[in-house]
Structure 1
Amino acid sequence: MSHDIPANAPGDRHQLVVPPSEQDHRQGSLDARVVLVEYGDYQCPQCGELYALIKTVQERLNATFFEENYLGFVFRHFPQPQIHPQAQKAAEAAEAAGAQGQFWQMSEILLEHHQDLRDCNLVEYANNLGLDVAQFLRDITRRVHIEHINEDIESGIRSGVTSTPALFINGLRYTNALELEPLLAAILESGNLS
Protein backbone atom coordinates (compact mmCIF):
# COMPACT_ATOMS: atom_id res chain seq x y z
CA MET A 1 0.00 0.00 0.00
CA SER A 2 2.85 2.39 -0.63
CA HIS A 3 3.23 5.02 -3.28
CA ASP A 4 6.63 4.90 -4.93
CA ILE A 5 7.98 8.42 -4.54
CA PRO A 6 11.41 8.86 -6.11
CA ALA A 7 13.97 10.15 -3.62
CA ASN A 8 14.90 12.90 -6.05
CA ALA A 9 11.31 13.81 -6.95
CA PRO A 10 10.98 17.43 -7.97
CA GLY A 11 9.01 19.73 -5.73
CA ASP A 12 7.25 21.31 -8.72
CA ARG A 13 4.25 23.14 -7.30
CA HIS A 14 2.33 22.67 -10.53
CA GLN A 15 2.74 18.96 -11.18
CA LEU A 16 1.46 15.88 -9.39
CA VAL A 17 4.52 13.83 -8.42
CA VAL A 18 2.72 10.62 -7.44
CA PRO A 19 0.27 9.57 -10.15
CA PRO A 20 -3.08 8.05 -9.18
CA SER A 21 -2.90 4.33 -8.48
CA GLU A 22 -4.96 1.39 -7.32
CA GLN A 23 -4.10 2.32 -3.70
CA ASP A 24 -6.04 5.58 -4.00
CA HIS A 25 -9.68 6.07 -3.13
CA ARG A 26 -11.31 6.89 -6.42
CA GLN A 27 -14.54 7.33 -8.27
CA GLY A 28 -14.34 6.32 -11.90
CA SER A 29 -11.39 4.87 -13.71
CA LEU A 30 -7.69 5.66 -13.40
CA ASP A 31 -7.48 5.61 -17.19
CA ALA A 32 -10.33 8.08 -17.65
CA ARG A 33 -9.79 10.87 -20.15
CA VAL A 34 -9.57 13.33 -17.22
CA VAL A 35 -8.51 12.40 -13.68
CA LEU A 36 -8.92 14.87 -10.82
CA VAL A 37 -6.83 14.45 -7.68
CA GLU A 38 -7.85 16.42 -4.61
CA TYR A 39 -5.75 16.78 -1.49
CA GLY A 40 -8.26 17.51 1.24
CA ASP A 41 -8.77 18.02 4.94
CA TYR A 42 -12.14 17.00 6.40
CA GLN A 43 -12.28 19.99 8.74
CA CYS A 44 -11.63 22.47 5.91
CA PRO A 45 -14.91 24.13 4.82
CA GLN A 46 -13.55 24.80 1.32
CA CYS A 47 -12.83 21.07 0.87
CA GLY A 48 -16.51 20.35 1.46
CA GLU A 49 -17.42 23.03 -1.07
CA LEU A 50 -14.99 21.57 -3.61
CA TYR A 51 -16.37 18.06 -3.10
CA ALA A 52 -19.91 19.36 -3.75
CA LEU A 53 -18.60 21.19 -6.83
CA ILE A 54 -16.91 18.03 -8.14
CA LYS A 55 -20.16 16.09 -7.66
CA THR A 56 -21.95 18.75 -9.73
CA VAL A 57 -19.26 18.53 -12.42
CA GLN A 58 -19.58 14.73 -12.47
CA GLU A 59 -23.36 14.98 -12.90
CA ARG A 60 -23.08 17.60 -15.63
CA LEU A 61 -20.45 15.67 -17.58
CA ASN A 62 -22.37 12.40 -17.27
CA ALA A 63 -25.51 14.11 -18.58
CA THR A 64 -23.61 15.81 -21.41
CA PHE A 65 -21.27 13.14 -22.72
CA PHE A 66 -22.77 9.82 -21.64
CA GLU A 67 -19.15 8.67 -21.69
CA GLU A 68 -18.58 6.39 -18.74
CA ASN A 69 -14.81 6.75 -18.79
CA TYR A 70 -14.56 10.52 -19.10
CA LEU A 71 -13.87 11.64 -15.52
CA GLY A 72 -12.06 9.95 -12.65
CA PHE A 73 -11.76 11.46 -9.18
CA VAL A 74 -9.19 10.63 -6.51
CA PHE A 75 -9.24 11.90 -2.92
CA ARG A 76 -6.02 12.03 -0.93
CA HIS A 77 -5.72 13.01 2.70
CA PHE A 78 -3.91 16.19 3.65
CA PRO A 79 -5.01 16.95 7.23
CA GLN A 80 -3.64 20.16 8.68
CA PRO A 81 -3.76 19.57 12.44
CA GLN A 82 -2.07 22.89 13.20
CA ILE A 83 -5.24 24.70 12.09
CA HIS A 84 -7.77 21.84 12.07
CA PRO A 85 -7.21 19.77 15.23
CA GLN A 86 -9.84 17.13 14.37
CA ALA A 87 -8.78 16.60 10.75
CA GLN A 88 -6.30 13.79 11.41
CA LYS A 89 -8.79 11.68 13.35
CA ALA A 90 -11.43 12.39 10.70
CA ALA A 91 -9.03 11.05 8.04
CA GLU A 92 -8.54 7.94 10.14
CA ALA A 93 -12.33 7.61 10.48
CA ALA A 94 -12.73 7.80 6.69
CA GLU A 95 -10.10 5.08 6.27
CA ALA A 96 -11.71 2.92 8.97
CA ALA A 97 -15.04 3.28 7.15
CA GLY A 98 -13.25 2.50 3.89
CA ALA A 99 -12.02 -0.77 5.37
CA GLN A 100 -15.72 -1.65 5.65
CA GLY A 101 -16.51 -0.50 2.11
CA GLN A 102 -17.91 2.92 3.06
CA PHE A 103 -15.08 5.39 2.34
CA TRP A 104 -17.03 7.71 0.06
CA GLN A 105 -20.15 7.62 2.22
CA MET A 106 -18.14 8.55 5.33
CA SER A 107 -16.13 11.16 3.42
CA GLU A 108 -19.28 12.88 2.27
CA ILE A 109 -20.65 12.99 5.82
CA LEU A 110 -17.36 14.32 7.21
CA LEU A 111 -17.12 17.03 4.56
CA GLU A 112 -20.75 18.06 5.04
CA HIS A 113 -20.31 18.18 8.84
CA HIS A 114 -16.77 19.60 8.95
CA GLN A 115 -17.64 21.53 12.11
CA ASP A 116 -18.80 18.36 13.95
CA LEU A 117 -15.85 15.95 13.99
CA ARG A 118 -15.52 15.10 17.68
CA ASP A 119 -15.21 11.45 18.67
CA CYS A 120 -18.90 11.21 19.55
CA ASN A 121 -19.81 12.56 16.10
CA LEU A 122 -17.56 10.04 14.34
CA VAL A 123 -19.21 7.18 16.23
CA GLU A 124 -22.65 8.55 15.34
CA TYR A 125 -21.71 8.75 11.65
CA ALA A 126 -20.31 5.20 11.69
CA ASN A 127 -23.48 3.95 13.35
CA ASN A 128 -25.67 5.79 10.83
CA LEU A 129 -23.77 4.07 8.00
CA GLY A 130 -24.35 0.67 9.60
CA LEU A 131 -20.65 0.06 10.18
CA ASP A 132 -19.30 -2.41 12.71
CA VAL A 133 -18.69 0.38 15.23
CA ALA A 134 -16.45 -1.74 17.48
CA GLN A 135 -14.15 -2.51 14.53
CA PHE A 136 -14.31 1.12 13.40
CA LEU A 137 -13.17 2.29 16.84
CA ARG A 138 -10.45 -0.37 17.04
CA ASP A 139 -9.05 0.78 13.69
CA ILE A 140 -8.98 4.40 14.85
CA THR A 141 -7.56 3.63 18.31
CA ARG A 142 -4.83 1.39 16.90
CA ARG A 143 -4.15 3.90 14.09
CA VAL A 144 -4.35 1.05 11.59
CA HIS A 145 -4.56 3.38 8.58
CA ILE A 146 -2.00 6.01 9.57
CA GLU A 147 0.58 4.80 7.03
CA HIS A 148 -1.79 5.35 4.11
CA ILE A 149 -2.68 8.82 5.38
CA ASN A 150 0.99 9.71 5.83
CA GLU A 151 1.74 8.50 2.29
CA ASP A 152 -0.98 10.81 0.98
CA ILE A 153 0.47 13.72 2.95
CA GLU A 154 4.00 12.99 1.73
CA SER A 155 2.87 12.77 -1.88
CA GLY A 156 1.10 16.10 -1.47
CA ILE A 157 4.19 17.74 -0.01
CA ARG A 158 6.27 16.39 -2.89
CA SER A 159 3.76 17.95 -5.29
CA GLY A 160 3.98 21.34 -3.59
CA VAL A 161 0.74 21.15 -1.62
CA THR A 162 0.83 23.43 1.41
CA SER A 163 -2.88 23.96 2.07
CA THR A 164 -6.25 22.55 1.17
CA PRO A 165 -8.05 22.08 -1.00
CA ALA A 166 -5.44 21.40 -3.66
CA LEU A 167 -6.68 20.10 -6.98
CA PHE A 168 -4.80 18.55 -9.89
CA ILE A 169 -6.32 17.93 -13.32
CA ASN A 170 -4.49 15.26 -15.31
CA GLY A 171 -1.45 15.80 -13.13
CA LEU A 172 -1.34 19.61 -13.38
CA ARG A 173 -2.25 21.92 -10.50
CA TYR A 174 -5.52 23.77 -10.96
CA THR A 175 -5.16 27.29 -9.61
CA ASN A 176 -8.22 29.09 -10.98
CA ALA A 177 -11.43 29.82 -9.09
CA LEU A 178 -13.15 26.89 -7.40
CA GLU A 179 -16.37 27.66 -9.23
CA LEU A 180 -18.39 25.56 -11.64
CA GLU A 181 -17.73 27.30 -14.97
CA PRO A 182 -13.94 27.79 -14.69
CA LEU A 183 -13.46 24.27 -13.31
CA LEU A 184 -15.65 22.72 -15.99
CA ALA A 185 -13.78 24.66 -18.69
CA ALA A 186 -10.43 23.44 -17.36
CA ILE A 187 -11.66 19.84 -17.28
CA LEU A 188 -13.03 20.04 -20.82
CA GLU A 189 -9.80 21.60 -22.06
CA SER A 190 -7.74 18.92 -20.34
CA GLY A 191 -9.90 16.25 -21.96
CA ASN A 192 -9.58 17.97 -25.37
CA LEU A 193 -13.29 18.75 -25.54
CA SER A 194 -13.25 22.54 -25.20
Structure 2
Amino acid sequence: MLGLVAGLCAGYTVQAGRAPTPLPPLSQPVVAQAKGKAPAPLSAAQDRKVRSDGDLRDMLLKRPAGASDAEYPAGHDGWLSMSEYAESFTRPAGAFRQLVSEEFRRAAVADWREGSLDVRIRLIQFRDERAVASQDALDSAEKWAGEESGHSTAVPGSGTGRVYTGGALDSGGRHRAEAFARRGSVLMEVWLDSDEPIAAQKALDLAQRQWERM
Protein backbone atom coordinates (compact mmCIF):
# COMPACT_ATOMS: atom_id res chain seq x y z
CA MET A 1 0.00 0.00 0.00
CA LEU A 2 2.81 2.39 0.93
CA GLY A 3 4.50 1.56 -2.36
CA LEU A 4 1.33 2.41 -4.29
CA VAL A 5 0.97 5.76 -2.48
CA ALA A 6 4.63 6.54 -3.05
CA GLY A 7 4.28 5.71 -6.73
CA LEU A 8 1.25 7.98 -7.11
CA CYS A 9 3.04 10.82 -5.31
CA ALA A 10 6.06 10.40 -7.55
CA GLY A 11 3.82 10.48 -10.61
CA TYR A 12 2.10 13.67 -9.53
CA THR A 13 5.51 15.21 -8.75
CA VAL A 14 6.80 14.42 -12.24
CA GLN A 15 3.66 15.83 -13.86
CA ALA A 16 3.83 19.00 -11.72
CA GLY A 17 7.45 19.54 -12.63
CA ARG A 18 6.78 19.51 -16.38
CA ALA A 19 6.43 22.77 -18.28
CA PRO A 20 2.83 23.36 -19.44
CA THR A 21 2.15 22.38 -23.06
CA PRO A 22 1.33 25.53 -25.07
CA LEU A 23 -2.16 25.59 -26.61
CA PRO A 24 -2.48 26.04 -30.36
CA PRO A 25 -3.19 29.62 -31.49
CA LEU A 26 -6.87 30.49 -31.89
CA SER A 27 -6.25 32.06 -35.27
CA GLN A 28 -5.57 29.55 -38.01
CA PRO A 29 -3.86 30.24 -41.34
CA VAL A 30 -6.20 31.04 -44.17
CA VAL A 31 -6.32 28.27 -46.74
CA ALA A 32 -6.27 29.59 -50.27
CA GLN A 33 -9.19 28.53 -52.43
CA ALA A 34 -8.25 26.02 -55.07
CA LYS A 35 -8.18 27.35 -58.59
CA GLY A 36 -10.27 25.98 -61.37
CA LYS A 37 -13.95 25.67 -62.15
CA ALA A 38 -16.40 24.45 -59.54
CA PRO A 39 -17.80 20.98 -60.29
CA ALA A 40 -21.10 20.94 -62.12
CA PRO A 41 -24.13 20.14 -59.95
CA LEU A 42 -25.50 16.63 -60.18
CA SER A 43 -28.39 16.05 -62.52
CA ALA A 44 -31.74 14.89 -61.16
CA ALA A 45 -30.95 11.41 -62.43
CA GLN A 46 -27.66 11.34 -60.48
CA ASP A 47 -28.77 13.08 -57.29
CA ARG A 48 -30.53 10.44 -55.15
CA LYS A 49 -31.98 13.15 -52.87
CA VAL A 50 -33.69 14.80 -55.82
CA ARG A 51 -35.02 11.43 -56.99
CA SER A 52 -36.42 10.38 -53.62
CA ASP A 53 -38.02 13.80 -53.06
CA GLY A 54 -39.72 13.69 -56.44
CA ASP A 55 -42.64 11.53 -57.52
CA LEU A 56 -41.97 8.23 -55.77
CA ARG A 57 -44.04 6.39 -58.37
CA ASP A 58 -41.42 7.17 -61.02
CA MET A 59 -39.00 4.91 -59.17
CA LEU A 60 -41.27 1.87 -59.46
CA LEU A 61 -40.69 -0.81 -62.07
CA LYS A 62 -43.04 -0.55 -65.00
CA ARG A 63 -45.52 -3.32 -65.69
CA PRO A 64 -44.02 -5.74 -68.25
CA ALA A 65 -45.65 -6.24 -71.63
CA GLY A 66 -48.32 -8.91 -71.54
CA ALA A 67 -49.00 -8.57 -67.81
CA SER A 68 -52.56 -7.99 -66.63
CA ASP A 69 -54.10 -6.04 -63.76
CA ALA A 70 -53.76 -7.48 -60.28
CA GLU A 71 -56.86 -9.26 -59.04
CA TYR A 72 -56.98 -6.93 -56.04
CA PRO A 73 -55.09 -3.73 -56.93
CA ALA A 74 -53.53 -1.89 -53.99
CA GLY A 75 -53.83 1.82 -53.26
CA HIS A 76 -55.11 4.55 -55.52
CA ASP A 77 -53.31 5.88 -58.59
CA GLY A 78 -50.06 4.30 -57.45
CA TRP A 79 -50.16 5.73 -53.93
CA LEU A 80 -50.69 3.79 -50.72
CA SER A 81 -51.96 5.63 -47.65
CA MET A 82 -50.53 4.94 -44.20
CA SER A 83 -53.73 3.17 -43.12
CA GLU A 84 -53.73 1.04 -46.29
CA TYR A 85 -50.11 0.07 -45.70
CA ALA A 86 -50.86 -0.76 -42.04
CA GLU A 87 -53.64 -3.10 -43.20
CA SER A 88 -51.00 -5.38 -44.76
CA PHE A 89 -49.68 -6.26 -41.29
CA THR A 90 -51.05 -8.96 -39.00
CA ARG A 91 -52.02 -6.32 -36.42
CA PRO A 92 -53.03 -3.20 -38.39
CA ALA A 93 -53.81 -1.01 -35.36
CA GLY A 94 -50.42 -1.61 -33.79
CA ALA A 95 -48.70 -1.19 -37.15
CA PHE A 96 -50.47 2.15 -37.69
CA ARG A 97 -49.28 3.47 -34.32
CA GLN A 98 -45.77 2.28 -35.08
CA LEU A 99 -45.77 4.02 -38.47
CA VAL A 100 -46.86 7.28 -36.82
CA SER A 101 -44.01 7.07 -34.30
CA GLU A 102 -41.54 6.18 -37.07
CA GLU A 103 -42.54 9.28 -39.05
CA PHE A 104 -44.00 7.51 -42.07
CA ARG A 105 -43.93 9.93 -44.99
CA ARG A 106 -45.55 8.23 -48.00
CA ALA A 107 -45.69 5.00 -50.00
CA ALA A 108 -45.98 4.12 -53.68
CA VAL A 109 -47.17 0.78 -55.05
CA ALA A 110 -47.26 -1.14 -58.32
CA ASP A 111 -48.83 -4.55 -58.87
CA TRP A 112 -49.67 -6.85 -61.76
CA ARG A 113 -50.27 -10.49 -62.71
CA GLU A 114 -48.25 -12.71 -65.05
CA GLY A 115 -50.09 -16.00 -65.47
CA SER A 116 -50.47 -17.38 -61.95
CA LEU A 117 -47.72 -15.09 -60.61
CA ASP A 118 -48.83 -12.01 -58.67
CA VAL A 119 -46.28 -9.22 -58.28
CA ARG A 120 -46.52 -6.35 -55.81
CA ILE A 121 -43.82 -3.74 -55.26
CA ARG A 122 -43.99 -1.12 -52.53
CA LEU A 123 -41.66 1.81 -51.86
CA ILE A 124 -42.14 3.16 -48.34
CA GLN A 125 -40.49 6.44 -47.43
CA PHE A 126 -39.81 7.67 -43.90
CA ARG A 127 -38.75 11.13 -42.77
CA ASP A 128 -35.67 9.73 -40.95
CA GLU A 129 -35.35 12.87 -38.84
CA ARG A 130 -35.49 11.73 -35.22
CA ALA A 131 -34.24 8.22 -36.04
CA VAL A 132 -33.31 6.19 -39.12
CA ALA A 133 -36.70 4.47 -39.27
CA SER A 134 -36.10 3.18 -42.80
CA GLN A 135 -33.19 1.08 -41.51
CA ASP A 136 -35.24 -0.17 -38.57
CA ALA A 137 -38.04 -1.17 -40.95
CA LEU A 138 -35.57 -3.04 -43.17
CA ASP A 139 -34.05 -4.87 -40.20
CA SER A 140 -37.50 -5.91 -38.96
CA ALA A 141 -38.67 -7.10 -42.39
CA GLU A 142 -35.53 -9.13 -42.96
CA LYS A 143 -35.67 -10.64 -39.49
CA TRP A 144 -39.14 -12.09 -40.09
CA ALA A 145 -38.39 -13.13 -43.66
CA GLY A 146 -35.19 -14.86 -42.57
CA GLU A 147 -37.05 -16.91 -39.99
CA GLU A 148 -39.77 -17.99 -42.42
CA SER A 149 -37.82 -18.58 -45.66
CA GLY A 150 -35.79 -21.56 -46.73
CA HIS A 151 -33.19 -19.62 -48.74
CA SER A 152 -31.89 -16.06 -49.07
CA THR A 153 -29.68 -14.31 -51.61
CA ALA A 154 -28.06 -10.87 -51.47
CA VAL A 155 -29.28 -8.18 -53.88
CA PRO A 156 -25.99 -7.11 -55.55
CA GLY A 157 -24.94 -3.55 -54.76
CA SER A 158 -27.68 -2.99 -52.18
CA GLY A 159 -25.66 -3.43 -49.02
CA THR A 160 -27.85 -5.59 -46.79
CA GLY A 161 -30.72 -6.07 -49.26
CA ARG A 162 -31.80 -9.70 -49.71
CA VAL A 163 -34.25 -11.95 -51.56
CA TYR A 164 -36.05 -14.72 -49.63
CA THR A 165 -37.51 -17.83 -51.26
CA GLY A 166 -38.51 -21.38 -50.37
CA GLY A 167 -40.43 -20.55 -47.23
CA ALA A 168 -43.74 -21.93 -46.01
CA LEU A 169 -46.81 -21.44 -48.18
CA ASP A 170 -48.89 -18.35 -47.49
CA SER A 171 -52.36 -18.43 -45.92
CA GLY A 172 -53.88 -19.14 -49.32
CA GLY A 173 -51.63 -22.14 -49.95
CA ARG A 174 -49.51 -20.29 -52.52
CA HIS A 175 -45.75 -20.11 -52.87
CA ARG A 176 -44.15 -16.81 -51.86
CA ALA A 177 -40.91 -14.96 -52.46
CA GLU A 178 -40.01 -11.56 -51.04
CA ALA A 179 -37.19 -9.06 -51.23
CA PHE A 180 -36.19 -6.04 -49.16
CA ALA A 181 -33.58 -3.32 -49.56
CA ARG A 182 -33.09 0.31 -48.59
CA ARG A 183 -31.86 3.36 -50.47
CA GLY A 184 -31.65 6.46 -48.29
CA SER A 185 -35.00 7.00 -46.61
CA VAL A 186 -36.88 4.62 -48.94
CA LEU A 187 -37.58 0.99 -48.09
CA MET A 188 -38.11 -1.36 -51.04
CA GLU A 189 -40.48 -4.31 -50.69
CA VAL A 190 -41.02 -6.87 -53.46
CA TRP A 191 -43.67 -9.58 -53.02
CA LEU A 192 -44.26 -12.52 -55.35
CA ASP A 193 -47.05 -15.10 -54.96
CA SER A 194 -47.67 -18.02 -57.29
CA ASP A 195 -49.42 -21.37 -57.57
CA GLU A 196 -46.06 -22.81 -58.62
CA PRO A 197 -42.69 -22.68 -56.80
CA ILE A 198 -40.89 -19.41 -57.52
CA ALA A 199 -37.33 -19.70 -58.80
CA ALA A 200 -34.82 -17.79 -56.69
CA GLN A 201 -33.23 -16.33 -59.83
CA LYS A 202 -36.55 -14.94 -61.04
CA ALA A 203 -37.17 -13.22 -57.71
CA LEU A 204 -33.58 -11.92 -57.62
CA ASP A 205 -33.82 -10.54 -61.15
CA LEU A 206 -36.99 -8.62 -60.32
CA ALA A 207 -35.55 -7.27 -57.07
CA GLN A 208 -32.30 -6.26 -58.80
CA ARG A 209 -34.13 -4.35 -61.54
CA GLN A 210 -36.26 -2.53 -58.97
CA TRP A 211 -33.20 -1.67 -56.90
CA GLU A 212 -31.44 -0.19 -59.91
CA ARG A 213 -34.36 2.19 -60.55
CA MET A 214 -34.07 3.72 -57.07
What TM-score do the two structures reach when normalised by structure 2? 0.25
Relative to total residues, which structure has the larger helix share, 1 or 2? 1
Q: Which has the higher contact order (CA 8 A, sep 6+)?
A: 1
| Higher-Rg member (1/2) | 2
Relative to total residues, which structure has the larger strand share, 1 or 2? 2
